[in-house]
């Protein structure tokens, strides 16, 4: 394990873990709690919510590995980007076929894609290439 943890590694770790916890909370609230949160979710797309909920746990695993500067955490981060892009594409097909959705889902998936792409790129540079 590398002992010289940079501020950048600390920042991406915090982002990954906070993102994971928030994703688990929001997805879990829609999936498992009847009431206001589910109603406010509007026309949510079930497979997207399930993907995001489960991905939240993977975010936590990646975050812990990034903190320890493990190579596998970089590859998990890259996998997160790829999986998010696949689900985003399937979501796009859902929209094109006339499926109900919320515009904020597009924004959230875009944010996830950008954040994890940046995390993966930074981690690759700092952990793999060093």
Mean pLDDT along residues 67-81: 97
8 A C-beta contact, residue 20 and residue 56: yes
- Is pLDDT of 7 > 50? yes
Quick count: other Cβ atoms within 10 Å of Cβ 62?
31
CA atoms within 13 A on the CB side of 2: 15
pLDDT tens for each residue of 112-129: 999 999 999 999 999 998
- Is pLDDT of 69 > 80? yes
Has residue 2 been placed in a domain?
no
Distance CA 60, CA 120 (A): 14
Has residue 82 been placed in a domain?
yes
Distance CA 43, CA 16 (A): 27
Place 130 in a pLDDT band, splitting at 50, 70 and 90. Answer: confident
Give the domain extent around 31: 7-128
Cα dihedral 2, 3, 7, 10 sign: positive
Place 5 in a pLDDT band, splitting at 50, 70 and 90. Answer: confident
Q: pLDDT value at position 76?
A: 98
Q: What pTM value is reported for the model?
A: 0.92
Has residue 31 been placed in a domain?
yes
Q: pLDDT value at position 34?
A: 83
Distance CA 64, CA 48 (A): 24
**DSSP assignment string, 37-72:** HHHHT-S--HHHHHHHHHHHHHHHHHHHHHHTT-HH
pLDDT tens for each residue of 9-56: 999 999 999 999 999 999 999 999 988 888 888 999 999 999 999 999
Has residue 17 been placed in a domain?
yes
Has residue 1 been placed in a domain?
no
Q: pLDDT value at position 4?
A: 62
Has residue 61 been placed in a domain?
yes
Please give the tally of structural domains in the chain: 1
Has residue 14 been placed in a domain?
yes
């Amino acid at each position: 394990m590398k002992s010289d943890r940079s501020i950048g590694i600390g920042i991406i770790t915090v982002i990954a873990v906070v993102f994971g916890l928030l994703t688990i909370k929001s997805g879990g609230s829609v999936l498992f709690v009847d009431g206001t949160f589910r109603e406010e979710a509007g026309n949510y797309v079930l497979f997207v919510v399930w993907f995001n909920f489960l991905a939240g746990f993977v975010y936590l695993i990646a975050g812990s590995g990034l903190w320890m500067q493990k190579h596998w955490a970089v590859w998990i981060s890259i996998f997160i980007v790829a999986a998010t892009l696949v689900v985003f594409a399937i979501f796009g097909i859902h929209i094109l076929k006339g499926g109900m959705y919320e515009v904020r889902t597009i924004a959230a998936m875009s944010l996830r894609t950008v954040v994890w792409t940046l995390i993966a790129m930074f981690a690759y540079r700092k952990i793999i290439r060093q």
